[in-house]
Chain A
Amino acid sequence: MTAIAAERYTGASIKRSEDPRILTGAGRYVDDIKLPGMLHAAFVRSPMAHARVLCVDVSAAQELPGVVAVLTGADLDAMTVPAPDPLLALIGGDGPTPEFTLLATDKVRLVGDPVAIVIAESRYLAEDGCELVEVDYDDLPPVMTADFALDPSSPPLFANLGDNISRPHSRKEFGEVASTFANADRIMDFHIDVHRHQNVPMEGRGCVASYDADLGLMTVYAATQSVHITRNGVATRLGMEPDKVRVLAGDIGGSFGLKIGASREEQAVAAASRHLGRPVKWVEDRAENLTVSGQAREESFDVQAAISNDGDLLGLDVKMVIDTGAYPGMGTMVPSIIEGMLPGPYKLAALGFESTGVITNKATYVAYRGPWASETFIRERILDLIAKDLGLDPVEIRLRNVAPRTDPPTMMITGRPLAGTTTKESLQRVAELVDLPAFRRRQAAAREQGRYLGIGVATFIEAAPGPRSEGPGGALGMESMRLRLEQDGIVALFTGQMPHGQSHQTTLAQIAADEFGVPFEQVRVVVGDSDVVPFGLTGGSRSATMTGGVTLHGTRQLKAKVLDFAAHLMEVSAQDLVISDGNVWVRGDPASAITVSEVAGRAAAGQFGAGVDADLEVEATFDGGQGGWSGGTHCAIVDVDAETGLVKVERYVAVEDCGALINPAVVEGQIRGGIAQGIGAVLLERSAYSEDGSFQSATFMDYLMPTACDVPRIEIEHLETVPLDADVNFRGVGEGGMIVAPPTVVNAIEDALSPFGVRIYEQHLPPARILELIAAADPGHSRAER
């Protein structure tokens, strides 16, 4: 491997240090873990959506050769303690606490609900064993719609709740809602639905749990976004002290919010390992991943908009219902985040927001890349609808409503300052890049030929991590890092970040290499061991700022310590020393250079008197500095075949602002991946349930993922950002693409279908739906003429 030479690493698309192993098949994912004596688990899963469990007979399964143990929900209950979901335990859920057992005992609450765990010599045998477990179910009426869940007569999924409300109705107002609506020129009403879809990482959930009975220690090899949250989840459920549980994670095949904490299955696997005193592996298959791992976005909104005749969006009144599925997850928190973000980068003067969360016999609502994304969908959708009604251009209406960048910054009425937002610039830049007038001419000519082209624009901001302020959401939390100059001269960064595609082992090394003065290869980013790294979580698009920042400041602190020590070695003043390219020397005297490795070696080897700190390690924290918003404007051009309903995304442009870039290629990869998920959501992906509760999207033949023929080249331009902080202006970019791509594409489709008078109030537009919309809006449209 040749050394990477760069003037400065930060800001350059440095090649990833992760790639040599990824590209040669040497990555280590959880299913690659093999331990001596390891067994394999599979779960007996309910075929019913809602039923009482009358009896579970495991005798035939236990007798199958190769099956080592079968544990029912009752067995597991006896060997574990009740425990809350570890993510919710950390961030706090919003609503009543349902009571349920680790695996189903008295009741199953969705198709796929695990009822028993079979542990065998191979996954093949474990699945054979599952087929032999006999379960008697007593059918209950399934609760498959929000309407039914809200109906007090619907059978409660959780006895202790007595109803199917996961988040009780609440309402809040910001600004003068009543008078804003009373004085508006017009009020428009919309009902908008966002459909259920899901994360679908290419690697599902899974773990290997290995209990050492002699030492009373549990080791869990996990696929997780935080080794510590997983550790806490496993420890709590098993009634163990956290320091007796060690969680290790290597390479992780994507997550997008899914793999946080410890799922019920993973907790059961750990309990099984302890019970058997042997390692147990469970890796979910695709059917499990699609059916039960978790889903998101099933929300409906009744929106009233108070508007001026000139297109000012004065106020919004929003009623939200969110379908949080059966078991509790982060779904109950989503309405609050949506409420806070609804004003977006605009001058909205008044907001009324109310929400209810309902429980249904569906998979848990989990975090999925930009969990609050519907706020952007609604807002950007209705701006287009309002623009059409008033005869305004979509870019024009947005520019009209964007809050100006002022100092002090304009405050969102929900309390956060719009510090450093570049929405106006991104809108204007997109308009330049796309040449709207030329497109309109091409669109008109295409219509003559019976071809329907459309263009859509949407803009967004995301709190990545958000601006520091006194108000709500203004405290950015604290990120920790341990930094150490190892005795071989490696600058080691120990972080709780748990990359699963984010390239932290490259990006953080870039920052540290620059700050310290060593080559990129001389920095090692250590992740994935709860015994070794500080607490952390990769999520919420925070790591660029929080971890980039703690890396920057921590490296400076480490460097200062190293210089102090080197100054002692070299008998000079620390201020006279320089570190660059892996060497320490006296400024102006290159001949004095000694390598950083030598300094490190001397620190490790020698004994020094009082006043000489040779422990070249620091524990750094970073509070986010001034933080900041990320955001941008996206534009899509689509070609809709009005005879088949098929949509092609012909062109996609993103103008984005994520602050200072650490690694442009990494940033662009994140944006493109998010956009692909957004295109998938609109055109292909739906987690579909039938009325009787059966799940219809359990294979990749039914849950359709976008492929290389569905995602066009995505043109990305980075805006020169407004720095808010003296040092740390890196901002997150992980979620933005997925937040703003759905409204971008839907806006384009509506534009394409405007000759038919189509108006769109939903996010999922498969071909059949496109034809329905055309037929409903333009029943006279005769397709035989084409």
Chain B
Amino acid sequence: MADITLTVNGATRTGSPEARRTLADFLRDDLNLTGTHVGCEHGVCGACTVIVDGRAVRSCLMLAVQAAGSEVTTIEGLAPDGGLGTLQQAMWDSHSFQCGFCTPGFLMQATAFLSEYPDADEQQIREALSGNICRCTGYQSIIDGVLLAAQRNRTLGSRELSEGAT
């Protein structure tokens, strides 16, 4: 067991996980951030996706000790205090989810993807999210939520740009 220190959702967190403990289990059980879900524990379903140092990763395929010194964002860290971020709001408006179990993974993967490809089209979004499994929705409502968020980000962005110009 080694002591590790990392930043999670902007806050410094510490722990002493044994080496074999996954980042997913560390976040959920040691840090009580149960928003990240575990769906398969072998890296296929994507429900455990979090953002580590700017990249979406499957937290069931990382050891907690490997995240020492890293910046981690989980679903709990997406929204401004008590509110909803653009993607979350767009997904609420789009009825994106049903049971909600896959939701954290989709939100984190889509967040990472949109930050890199803000103008992605539907096919690109589908491919980017094809590593996240949902059993309830048939995906269309999720894709609609991501498309809506991207569109709103563009509107927000162009509004900010035009405001900044004056």
Residues on A lying within 8 angstroms of B by beta carbon are 13, 15-16, 18-20, 22-29, 31-32, 34, 124, 200-203, 251-254, 256, 285-286, 500-503, 665-666, 668-670, 672-677, 699-701, 705, 707-709, 711, 713-714
| Of B28-36, B63-71, B152-160, the one touching chain A | B28-36
Q: Evaluate contact between B45 and A22: CB separation under 8 angstroms.
A: no
Bound-state Cα–Cα, A743 to B107, Å = 34
Chain A nearest CB from B105 CB (Å) reads 9
Q: A676-B139, A700-B42 are contacts. A19–B97 as well, Cβ < 8 Å? A: yes
Bound-state Cα–Cα, A502 to B137, Å = 11
Bound-state Cα–Cα, A682 to B86, Å = 37
Return the chain A residue nearest B90 by Cβ.
Answer: A23
Chain A nearest CB from B1 CB (Å) reads 13
Collect the chain A residues with CB atoms within 8 Å of residue B32's CB: 34
> Can you add 5 more A-B contacts, CB < 8 Å, to A23-B88, A27-B35, A256-B135?
A24-B88, A27-B103, A285-B41, A669-B136, A669-B137
Q: Evaluate contact between A253 and B100: CB separation under 8 angstroms.
A: yes
Q: Evaluate contact between B135 and A705: CB separation under 8 angstroms.
A: yes
Bound-state Cα–Cα, A351 to B38, Å = 48
Q: Evaluate contact between A708 and B39: CB separation under 8 angstroms.
A: no
Q: Evaluate contact between B130 and A709: CB separation under 8 angstroms.
A: yes
> 8 Å CB contacts to A: which residues of B1-41?
18, 20-21, 28-29, 32-41
Bound-state Cα–Cα, A31 to B45, Å = 17
Bound-state Cα–Cα, A714 to B84, Å = 28
Interface membership of chain B positions 67-82, coded 1 if the CB is closer than 8 angstroms to chain A and 0 otherwise: 0000000111011000
Q: Evaluate contact between A19 and B92: CB separation under 8 angstroms.
A: yes
Q: A25-B76, A201-B135 are contacts. A16–B101 as well, Cβ < 8 Å? A: no
Q: Evaluate contact between A711 and B39: CB separation under 8 angstroms.
A: no
Collect the chain B residues with CB atoms within 8 Å of residue A200's CB: 135
Chain A to chain B: the 5 pairs with minimum beta-carbon distance, closest first: A25-B35, A253-B101, A672-B138, A501-B98, A501-B99
Collect the chain B residues with CB atoms within 8 Å of residue A709's CB: 126-127, 130
B114 within 8 A of A: no
Chain A nearest CB from B149 CB (Å) reads 12
Q: Evaluate contact between A711 and B40: CB separation under 8 angstroms.
A: no
Q: Evaluate contact between B95 and A500: CB separation under 8 angstroms.
A: no
Q: A15-B93, A22-B100, A501-B98 are contacts. A202–B141 as well, Cβ < 8 Å? A: no
Which residue from A24, A31, A256 sits with its C-beta under 8 Å from B75?
A24
Return the chain A residue nearest B75 by Cβ.
Answer: A25
B102 within 8 A of A: yes
Chain B nearest CB from A718 CB (Å) reads 15
Chain B nearest CB from A223 CB (Å) reads 10
B112 within 8 A of A: no
Return the chain B residue nearest A672 by Cβ.
Answer: B138
Chain A nearest CB from B163 CB (Å) reads 24
B129 within 8 A of A: yes
Q: Evaluate contact between B44 and A27: CB separation under 8 angstroms.
A: no
Interface membership of chain B positions 132-144, coded 1 if the CB is closer than 8 angstroms to chain A and 0 otherwise: 1111111111110
Chain B nearest CB from A33 CB (Å) reads 9
Bound-state Cα–Cα, A677 to B138, Å = 8
Bound-state Cα–Cα, A677 to B29, Å = 32
Q: Evaluate contact between B76 and A252: CB separation under 8 angstroms.
A: no
Return the chain B residue nearest A26 by Cβ.
Answer: B35
Bound-state Cα–Cα, A501 to B97, Å = 8
Q: A24-B79, A672-B138, A709-B130 are contacts. A286–B41 as well, Cβ < 8 Å? A: yes
Q: Evaluate contact between B99 and A500: CB separation under 8 angstroms.
A: yes
B131 within 8 A of A: yes
Q: A24-B75, A714-B140 are contacts. A202–B133 as well, Cβ < 8 Å? A: yes
Collect the chain B residues with CB atoms within 8 Å of residue A674's CB: 138
B57 within 8 A of A: no
Q: Evaluate contact between A202 and B47: CB separation under 8 angstroms.
A: yes
Return the chain B residue nearest A289 by Cβ.
Answer: B40
Return the chain A residue nearest B89 by Cβ.
Answer: A23
How many chain B residues touch A (CB < 8 A): the figure is 57
Chain B nearest CB from A525 CB (Å) reads 16
Q: Evaluate contact between B40 and A501: CB separation under 8 angstroms.
A: no
Chain A nearest CB from B128 CB (Å) reads 9
Collect the chain A residues with CB atoms within 8 Å of residue B140's CB: 672, 711, 713-714
Collect the chain B residues with CB atoms within 8 Å of residue A672's CB: 137-141
A-B contact pairs, 27 of them (CB 8 A): A18-B100, A19-B91, A19-B92, A19-B97, A23-B97, A23-B107, A24-B35, A25-B36, A29-B37, A124-B18, A201-B101, A201-B135, A202-B37, A253-B100, A253-B101, A254-B99, A254-B101, A286-B42, A665-B141, A669-B141, A672-B139, A676-B135, A699-B42, A707-B132, A707-B133, A707-B139, A708-B142
Q: Evaluate contact between B133 and A15: CB separation under 8 angstroms.
A: no
Collect the chain B residues with CB atoms within 8 Å of residue A201's CB: 99, 101, 135
Taking chain B's interface residues, is the majority helix, strand, or loop, or is none over half, making it mixed? loop
Collect the chain B residues with CB atoms within 8 Å of residue A707's CB: 129-133, 139
Taking chain A's interface residues, is the majority helix, strand, or loop, or is none over half, making it mixed? loop
Chain B nearest CB from A652 CB (Å) reads 9
Return the chain A residue nearest B99 by Cβ.
Answer: A501
Q: Evaluate contact between B40 and A700: CB separation under 8 angstroms.
A: yes
Q: Evaluate contact between B92 and A29: CB separation under 8 angstroms.
A: no
Chain B nearest CB from A368 CB (Å) reads 12
> Of A28, A201, A707, which is in contact with the most chain B CB atoms at under 10 Å from its CB?
A707
Collect the chain A residues with CB atoms within 8 Å of residue B138's CB: 669, 672-676, 711, 714
Chain B nearest CB from A484 CB (Å) reads 27
Q: Evaluate contact between A29 and B101: CB separation under 8 angstroms.
A: yes
Collect the chain B residues with CB atoms within 8 Å of residue A677's CB: 135
Collect the chain A residues with CB atoms within 8 Å of residue B38's CB: 31
Q: Evaluate contact between B135 and A254: CB separation under 8 angstroms.
A: yes
Collect the chain A residues with CB atoms within 8 Å of residue B20's CB: 124
Q: Evaluate contact between B42 and A701: CB separation under 8 angstroms.
A: yes
Q: Evaluate contact between B141 and A253: CB separation under 8 angstroms.
A: no
Bound-state Cα–Cα, A636 to B13, Å = 51
> Of A27, A31, A705, which is in contact with the most chain B CB atoms at under 10 Å from its CB?
A27
Return the chain B residue nearest A18 by Cβ.
Answer: B100
Collect the chain A residues with CB atoms within 8 Å of residue B133's CB: 202, 700, 705, 707
Chain A nearest CB from B85 CB (Å) reads 9
Q: Evaluate contact between A253 and B99: CB separation under 8 angstroms.
A: yes
Return the chain B residue nearest A666 by Cβ.
Answer: B95
Chain A nearest CB from B76 CB (Å) reads 5
Return the chain B residue nearest A123 by Cβ.
Answer: B25
Collect the chain B residues with CB atoms within 8 Å of residue A503's CB: 98
Chain A nearest CB from B55 CB (Å) reads 19
Collect the chain A residues with CB atoms within 8 Å of residue B75's CB: 23-25
Return the chain A residue nearest B40 by Cβ.
Answer: A286
Bound-state Cα–Cα, A142 to B39, Å = 31
Which residue from A19, A203, A502, A705 sits with its C-beta under 8 Å from B37?
A203
Bound-state Cα–Cα, A502 to B143, Å = 20
Collect the chain B residues with CB atoms within 8 Å of residue A22's CB: 97, 100, 103
Q: A254-B135, A714-B138 are contacts. A15–B92 as well, Cβ < 8 Å? A: yes
Collect the chain B residues with CB atoms within 8 Å of residue A203's CB: 37, 39, 99, 101
Collect the chain B residues with CB atoms within 8 Å of residue A256's CB: 135
Chain A nearest CB from B113 CB (Å) reads 12
Bound-state Cα–Cα, A203 to B102, Å = 9
Chain B nearest CB from A289 CB (Å) reads 9
Q: Evaluate contact between B136 and A673: CB separation under 8 angstroms.
A: yes
Collect the chain B residues with CB atoms within 8 Å of residue A700's CB: 40, 42, 44-45, 133
Chain B nearest CB from A285 CB (Å) reads 6
Return the chain B residue nearest A13 by Cβ.
Answer: B95
Q: Evaluate contact between B130 and A24: CB separation under 8 angstroms.
A: no
